[in-house]
Structure 1
Amino acid sequence: MFKDTLLNNIKAARPDATREEVLKAADEAQCKDIIDRLPDGLDTLVGTGGTYLSGGENQRIALARAILKDAPIIVLDEATAFADAENEHQIQLAFERLTQNKTVLMIAHRLSTIQDADLILVFKEGQIAERGTHEELVALNGIYSSMWKDYQTSITWKVGKEDEQHD
């Protein structure tokens, strides 16, 4: 995000876009709640010295920019890395819109981000170690399957103190 209005931050992808096109892209990127809570909506100053947006909110704004650009090839590098659970869900919804009829190269460590991909490549020491769909890779019982099992275990973890029982 650069220091300018939210409108101009999104329009950076396509400077000739109308306000209506920007609003449509923002809506498809699940940004309506962000715009609604900002004091001046799309005209709010964001970026350094402007209104603070969380990492996940910044990611959704970047997705609005990508939706507005409508490029045929999309590269996403750790697109959910800085997102909390709520923003990750919103980002996943935005991915559905962004990736329709596109070629997408997605780099991710969060396996939930890639599980619906047509083809997943698993790298080990710079080489492709496994390739396939999520279901095929889980069935292989290899690297991906092990990572998926670890991921499934980790999503049940809770942070906090357990209630202590005192007699």
Structure 2
Amino acid sequence: MMIYTSIACMALLATVFGMSFLGKLRNPGPFIQTMRSLVPGPSTIVVAYSVIGAEGLVVLFFLASMPGAEWAAVTGFFLSGGLTIAFTLAMRRMRGGHCHCFGRSTALRYSTRHVVRNLLLFAAAVTGYAGHGRVGELEAHGIAAALIIGVTIGSLTVIMDDLFVMLG
């Protein structure tokens, strides 16, 4: 049973980081501007493209190593943990910054919601990794259900800011 939870968590991570990767790749300018508020100085571009590359790696590792995807979990773990720390520090320093996490040209200011989102991604990475070695006999309908659940929750996570604007 734990393997299906692991698959769902990895699908969630791959969905969120995959959509983020594609959005930033399509329109990197706003994200690089955001990174200037978090990492001032000449290393901004390097850090920005490192984040984008790490997001792409989560998806690549997930697709390449189904059903365990332990490297996706490890990459997601460090990426979500690092982003949580960066958002928290940016909010504490009052440096501002807007979340262009998914390549949008308009975005909301960093808030507790962004920290919570990344903490949940962090928890998904830990849970996904915890279940990666528990491969027993897998059933197709269990894998399909886990993938659907992970992609659905991941998609809702991606549009969370839009939902808050619409409902708030």
Larger Rg: 1
TM-score, structure 2 as length reference: 0.26
More helix by share: 2
More strand by share: 1
Which is bigger in relative contact order (C-alpha 8 A, separation at least 6)? 2
TM-score, structure 1 as length reference: 0.26
